[in-house]
Structure 1
Amino acid sequence: MIESYELKSVASYDAVGIKVTGLKPINFFYGANGCGKTTSSNYLAQPFNEKFTQCSVRWVADQALKTLVYNKEFREANFVGSNDIAGVFSLGQASAEEIALIQSKKEELDNFNQQQKQQKTTLDGKESELEKQTANFQNVCWAVYKQYQDDFNQVLKGSIGSKKAFMNKVITESNADRSLVELKEHASLLNKAETLLGERPSTFPRIPLVTSTNISGYEQNDIWEKVIVGKSNVDIAALITHLNSNDWVSMGQQFIEDETCPFCQKETIDNDFKAQLGAFFDETFVENSQRVSLFEQSYKKEVDRLLNHFEQIQQTEKSNPDSKLDIDGYDNFLSILQSKFKSNHLIMCSKVEKVSMQIDIDDTHIEIEELIALIATANITINSHNQLATNYDSEISTFTAEVWRFLVVQVKTEIAEYKKKSKGTSKAIAGISKLVKKRQLGIVALDAEIKELSKNMTSVQPAVDEINRMLKAYGFTNFSIVPSTVLPNHYSIERENGDLALATLSEGEVTFITFLYFIQLANGALTQESVTEDRVLVIDDPISSLDSNVLYIVSAIIKKLTREIKEGSSIKQLLLFTHNVYFHKEASYQGGRSNGCNKTHFWILRKANNITSIQPYNDKNPISSSYELLWREIKDRKPGSSITIQNTMRRILENYFKILGDFSDEDIVEKFESVEEQQICRSLLYWINDGSHCLPDDLFIQEVGDSTEQFVGVFKNVFNYSGHLAHYQMMMGEEVTIQTSNVITIENATEVA
């Protein structure tokens, strides 16, 4: 059965279109000519036609049934261009037992289909539940991706095409054994990403290390604190010591060449004085002095070597855009070291000039060690980078695994919750799907069995007999249907004299016989194995070009169809489209009621500004007769509506009792037993006649609502005492009760005043 269909971007249906939902087994569509009815029937007949690409149809439980469509195209396809019409197979010649067997199989098949429908509904619910769970988890995963996409987007490529693809990758990674993959912090991954992501990295040269140095040995030597002076047991020692001129004399001694004193330039230097100076500045003094001078020179050489090394590194790294060295820290320690080296050397030079001085040398090992440590740290980073660059492919693979493990950990709790919920839902889906597939095999087998039974019990002759019977019954006696003499299992239309009649039939005759043929096709099939196949009927304006008297014949056939559909038959659904309000009224009038039931749905198609719209009315028939509208006015009366109610009551009593029943006012009054009741009835007749021809004089003096309800009760008793209470109850929509006496037994009936 069709659950819903949608029409848009075709004919008078715009891009928004209409959606027809809530279809029932019986569906009546009313609309004026040109409002889109034929477009609907054409679509349902040919849903895959390219002009209907924007349209769609949805079947109950996704089980599409064969759709038979009666419209202008059907008439042209079957009754234009050839004298031979395809025969309709039916079960007309099968025995009662054979038909009963087929019917039993059909009921079994219907039961299977009903169970299948219920199971598929349950399956759809579970699948919808799983989709919701998955969608929620997808959003959680996608939020994590959005949080870290700028950091790791390059390694995530291939898994970020959609939320679903990313979620599936997260689940795959969560299921994989990643025990050998190190779980790293975000900052560590970012550092690694700087090297790996982007262009393939090249290796960096290491910063040269400082070779061994004895700077500390020079700086910490005790020679710098040693007082170097001459021997104290020499005669001139006391004078030199007293004058504190040890260094002055020692320096002057170097300039003594002959007897001339280098200080006063007089010939006062004799051999004895020279001997005393030589004894005062002995070998120990000379050795110590030379040692000071040697240390100063060695220190200067080592300092120059170190500074040259460190300064070369500084210059190189400052011009290196990929430098891994902490330049700021390096500059700071190198500046301190340069200052200390300079200060130490100046002091050492002073010691060389005045060896008797005691000097303090600043220790520079801390600055040297800091500079070496900065270089070592940079080299560690360079080594790590070079390792990544050398083993780029494997490192990228490792890094990718590390990133995924990091991301999976971010949604660890949500993954566990989703797996638990989805596992249960998926298990239910698998179980139900297995039952659905198993039952579907049973449905296919049973359907094949029914088709085989039908094939052995079908014939085209019963359809011929039925069409001819209906033609004669409805006064079409100048032609009939006969088996074709040209094609097997085909029909021809002949006159009484044997001439082929199809080409000479009037438009109305062609329309009527086409409709009869369609009805036979609806109850049979063009092939033997399809006779019992379930189907949906779509009928579009079957009374076009027919006389008014045939309208009632066609409506009677439609009413018979609707009864069979409600009771259960191979026809599971009917969609009837018409522009004729009288036909709509006749065809939809069922079982003494013009409104529908829970198996009926009414619709009206309208077109405004060349755009079609649709309005549903559920089971309330929007097409009503004037007589029904009168009753509806009484049924839906409101306080203060006595003026129109009087006229309405009068018209109902005149139509029902006077015109149709040939009752006079006195005949109506005499149905009341007591004189008091007859007087009340007369007052009703006076009241409705007076109120329907003029305005009451006391309109602005007193309220008439109370009297209205009183007279409605009398109005009801007119039907009650005349034996027509059932008609009143039917028209008022009340439950019809059996009337055994002149007493109203319906619950909540209005009491007569």
Structure 2
Amino acid sequence: MIESLHLRNIATYDHNGVLIKDLRKVNFIYGVNGSGKTTLTKLVSTPNEQPFKDCLLKWKNNLPLRALVYNKEFRDKNFGQGKMDGVFTLGQATKEQAALIEQKITDRKAFKEDFSKKTETLDKQKFLKLEREAAFKEAVWADIYKKHELEFKEAFAGYMVKENFKNNLLVEAGNISASPPAHETLKEKAKTIFGKAPVNITAISPIIYERLLEIETDAIWQKKIIGKADVDIAKLIQRLNINDWVNEGRKHIQTDSIVCPFCQESTITEDFRNQLNRYFDESFLADTKLVKTLMEEYIRQSANLVNLLEQVESAEKAKTSSKLDQEKFSAYLKTFSTQVIANQELLNNKIKEPSRGISLVSIKEQLDHLAELISAANKDIIRHNSIVSNFAKEKQDLVKQVWRYITDAHKITIQNHKTDQDNLQKAIAGIESAIHETTKKHNALSAEIKELSKTVTSVQPSIDKINTTLSSYGFHNFSIVASKTEANKYQIQRADGTIAESTMSEGEITFITFLYFLQLTKGSTVETSVAEERILVIDDPISSLDSNVLFVVSSLLKEIIKSIKADKGSIRQLILLTHNVYFHKEVSFIDGHHSPCKDTAYWMLRKTQRVTTIQPFEMKNPIQNSYELLWAELKNRAEHSGITIQNTMRRIIENYFRLLGKYGDDQIIKKFSSHEEQEICRSLICWINDGSHSMPDDLFIEHQADIIEKYFTVFEKIFDHMDHKAHFNMMMGNPAA
């Protein structure tokens, strides 16, 4: 069966088009001439032709059936050539043969129903698989990609689309061969490798401070440097502890003067001079010289080292990719500088007072810390420079490590999805295998039916059936006969034996070609296709027919409709299109009623401003008779052009009040109590008569919506004042008051 039809960009169907979906076994489509019915039938008969490139015909379970289309083209094709192809039916079959073929057709139908059920199950499983795949795709995008996008974005290059990311994640999940690096390790490597290509970093010169430590620990600093003890003045100097004072003062004793530089008395004798020189002997002088030398060296080297470290600090702060722990380095350097200043003060004190011992502040711990920081930074620099020298490979390795990390971190989620997809795929494969077997059995049975049909088919039963129908309905002046010159061909012959094609009326041609079409629905022009399943699309079969033939055609079609609904025969679906309200009413009333049926659907095609639209009515027949059709048009006035609204109102008033109620216009007007209301009613009657009887101007301006609604209000009041408001509410579908 056809599930849906989508017509667009052809004839009166615009770029949005019309979608007819949820087609059922029996489908009635009403539409006035020019509304696009014939275009629809052409889509079914020739869906692959160029004009229908933007249209779509969808078959149930993607199983197309043979489509028999009756329209004007069918009439022209089968009558215009003078001869019609013979229709093969099971006319020569014995009762047993016919029963066997019918049984096999029933069995084939069972296979097809089984195929449809399995196909529906297959579609559900495929949809479920796609649905879960989509859910997994969204989940990993939110939980993995978005979480790591900033830190590992470059590792995701080429996979920044949800589908690509999901696919590669599944591929990488199958490639895990070892435990991935830690997250922090990957982040650090990513800072170097991802983004701007790195460059070599110059190593930091290591610091040398062993000599400073040697000076710092020299025993001289603790030694009390004093003069020789066996000199006469030694006891006095040492008792008064004025060793440093005397040593400093003797620098001021002049060689050619006997005046004491302190008391200014003439007390400096030659003997006193000799005692001072013997007291401050060579050992004393050597020690004081050593103190001065070591102090100067210490101050010089410590100052150089502080300056060097400050340069390192400044240079590393200027780098964008420093490997040095600058915070710790600065803290240790500050402490070291403070210690150096303190030691310089102590050394100065030692120079001034050699007799006093001092203990220098140890700088070893701070220098060790600084040296370790420099060493650690240089190790990172070596690793960094190694990466730079082999950047492409390092980047490739890091990308692999990132994917290994994220797949390992989410391996349970990934594995659960893979297991679920594998199970669904196994189920799909099982159903597909079952469908394949069912299809094989169906095709084998179809082949059997074709072979059986070949031996028992004939074109004569179709001739007899058509002629019987013609005779039954009063067509005695012509009949169908087999061609005398060509096998399996029909010709139309007059009672006197002459060929009748050129002398037949339009109505006769329409009727006989329709009877011929009905025979095609039961058979085929090819022997092997007699029992094929098919659908019918019929466009206005009563065009140019007399009114009495309308009932003949509707009666024949009703029998087909009953068979379709009962699943008898080879016809699976009917799409009937017509512009004739009476024919639509007659053919859609099965067994004298039109109650809703799940196998039947109704549509109405409309053309507004040269564009076709469609209104679905599902199981509710929108057309009971022409009078109800007028009310249906009125109820849906908002969906249509205002051009026909006047004529619609006029025909309703004329049918209901004038013809049935025998009321004239003046009687209707006088039902309004006040003079003003009577004038408004008269205005409505004049307006609707003008719109339906007068000739339109060359320039037609469509009625404005507000004017239409004002007159509709007056139209409603007519029924109210005439005491027929209940009829108005019933026809408009208004709820009971």
* TM-score class normalised by the smaller sequence: 0.7 to 0.9
Mapping 1:731-750, distance limit 5 Å: none
- The residue aligned with 1:543 is 542
Q: How far is 1:477 from its partner?
A: 4.1
Shift of 1:111: 0.8
Q: Distance in 2 between matches of 1:486 and 1:348?
A: 141
Q: 1:251 to 1:503 in 2, by over 3 A?
A: farther
Deviation at 1:432, TM superposition (A): 1.7
**1:213 aligns to what?**
210
**Structure 1 residue 285 and structure 2 residue 259: aligned?**
no
Q: Does 1:37 align with 2:37?
A: yes
Q: CA deviation at 1:75?
A: 2.2
1:195 and 2:192 are equivalent in the alignment: yes
Say which SS state the counterpart of residue 556 (structure 1) adopts.
helix
2:147 & 2:180 partners in 1: Cα distance?
22
- Structure 2 counterpart of 1:237: 234
Match of 1:666 in 2: none
CA distance, structure 2, for counterparts of residue 468 and residue 305 of structure 1 = 127
Q: How does 1:15-414 map to 2 (within 5 A)?
A: 17-80=17-80, 82-144=81-143, 145-161=145-161, 163-182=162-181, 184-185=182-183, 187-241=184-238, 244-247=241-244, 249-250=246-247, 260=257, 272-273=271-272, 275-408=274-407, 411-414=410-413
Classify 1:486/1:224 alpha carbon distance in 2 versus 1 (closer, same or farther; 3 Å): farther
User: Amino acid of the residue matched to residue 403 of structure 1?
Assistant: V
Distance 1:318 1:159, change over 3 A: closer
2:155, 2:488 → 1: CA distance? 71
Change (3 A) 1:442 1:366: same
Offset at residue 576 of structure 1 (A) = 1.0
Following TM superposition, by how much is the alpha carbon of 1:498 offset from its aligned partner in structure 2, in angstroms? 5.9
> What is residue 616 of structure 2 aligned with on the other side?
615
SS, match of residue 236 in structure 1: helix
d(CA) in 1 for partners of 2:150 and 2:274?
89
Q: Judging changes above 3 Å, is the alpha-carbon distance between structure 1 residues 160 and 482 closer, same or farther for their aligned structure 2 residues?
A: farther
1:494, distance to aligned residue in structure 2 (A)? 4.4
Q: What is the aligned partner in structure 1 of residue 577 from structure 2? A: 577
Residue 296 of structure 1 and its aligned partner are, at CA, apart by: 1.4
Question: Measured at CA, do residues 600 and 243 of structure 1 come closer, stay the same or move farther in structure 2, by a change above 3 Å?
Answer: closer
What's 2:531 paired with?
532
Q: Tell me whether 1:438 sits opposite 2:437 in the alignment.
A: yes
Q: Give the letter aligned to residue 363 of structure 2.
A: T
With over 3 angstroms needed to count, the CA separation of the structure-2 counterparts of 1:319 and 1:168, relative to structure 1, is closer
**Aligned partner of residue 536 in structure 2, secondary structure:** strand
Q: CA RMSD in A?
A: 3.5
Shift of 1:227: 1.6
Deviates more, 1:41-50 or 1:481-490: 481-490
Letter in 2 for 1:139: E
Measure, in 2, the Cα distance between the counterparts of 1:55 and 1:205: 70
Q: Is the 8 A contact 2:231 2:279 kept in 1?
A: yes
CA distance in 2, matches of 1:318, 1:146: 33
Q: Deviations over 1:213-244 (max 9, x none)?
A: 23223223332232211022211213434565
Aligned residues of 1:552 and 1:586 also touching (Cα < 8 A): yes
Assess if the C-alpha contact under 8 Å between 2:538 and 2:576 holds in 1: yes
Q: Deviations over 1:545-578 (max 9, x none)?
A: 1122221221222122223323411111111111
Distance in 2 (CA, whole Å) between partners of 1:505 and 1:219 is 135
- Rate the CA distance shift 1:148–1:51 in 2: closer, same or farther, 3 A: farther
When residues 396 and 484 of structure 1 are mapped into structure 2, their CA distance, relative to the original with a 3 A threshold, is farther
Q: For residues 415 and 384 of structure 1, do their structure 2 counterparts lie closer, same or farther at Cα, with a shift above 3 Å needed?
A: same
1:653-668 alignment to 2 at 5 Å? none
Deviates more, 1:9-18 or 1:95-104: 9-18
Task: Quote the Cα distance in structure 1 between the aligned partners of 2:594 and 2:333.
Answer: 106
**Cα distance, 1:413–1:321 mapped onto 2, change above 3 Å:** closer
Paired letter, 1:570: S
Whether contact under 8 Å (2:492, 2:501) holds in the other structure is yes
For structure 2, list consecutive stretches of 5 or more residues without a partner in the other structure.
Answer: 629-655, 661-722, 724-737
Q: Tell me how many residue pairs correspond in the alignment.
A: 628
Q: How far apart are the structure 2 equivalents of 1:626 and 1:277?
A: 151
- Measure, in 1, the Cα distance between the counterparts of 2:66 and 2:151: 57
- In 2: Cα distance, 1:155 partner to 1:262 partner: 92
Asked if the contact 2:333–2:370 (Cα under 8 Å) also holds between the matched residues in 1, the reply is: yes
- Note the C-alpha offset of 1:484: 4.5
2:209, 2:367 within 8 Å by CA — same for their partners in 1? Answer: no
Shift of 1:356: 2.0
- Evaluate the alpha carbon distance shift between residue 207 and residue 457 of structure 1 in structure 2; reply closer, same or farther with a 3 A threshold: farther
1:357-393 deviations in whole A, cap 9, x for unaligned? 3334222223322322332332243233233333333
- With over 3 angstroms needed to count, the CA separation of the structure-2 counterparts of 1:180 and 1:595, relative to structure 1, is closer
Paired residues of 2:535 and 2:571 also in contact (CA < 8 A): yes
Tell me, yes or no, if the aligned pair for 1:259 and 1:268 is still in contact at 8 Å: no
Contact preservation (8 Å) 2:482, 2:489? yes
Rounded Cα–Cα distance in structure 1 between residues aligned with 2:350 and 2:627: 136
Query: Residues 259 and 267 of structure 1 are in contact (CA less than 8 Å); yes or no, is this contact kept in structure 2?
Result: no
- Aligned-pair distance for 1:482? 4.0
Tell me the CA shift for residue 313 of structure 1: 1.9
- Structure 1 residues 64-109: Cα deviation after superposition (integer angstroms, max 9, x where no partner): 21111111222233333x3343333332233333333322221111
* TM-score for both structures, normalised by structure 2: 0.76
Rate the CA distance shift 1:452–1:204 in 2: closer, same or farther, 3 A. Answer: farther
Change (3 A) 1:368 1:612: same
* CA distance in structure 2 between the partners assigned to 1:123 and 1:49 by the alignment: 31
d(CA) in 2 for partners of 1:484, 1:225:
144
Q: Deviations over 1:2-57 (max 9, x none)?
A: 23333445444455554434433222222322333223222222333444445433
SS at match of 2:284: helix
The residue type paired with residue 431 of structure 2 is I
Aligned to 1:719: none
Residue in structure 2 matched with residue 709 of structure 1 by the alignment: none
Contact 1:588–1:596 under 8 Å retained in 2? no
The 1:612/1:399 distance shift into structure 2, 3 A limit, reads same
**Percent of aligned positions that are identical:** 38
Equivalent position SS for 2:577: strand
Between 1:316-325 and 1:536-545, the stretch displaced more is 316-325
Provide TM-score, normalisation by structure 1.
0.75
Is the 8 Å Cα contact of residues 17 and 613 (structure 1) preserved in structure 2?
no
Distance in 2, matches of 1:68 and 1:284, equals: 134
CA distance in 2, matches of 1:594, 1:317: 93
Q: What is the Cα deviation at residue 288 of structure 1?
A: 1.9
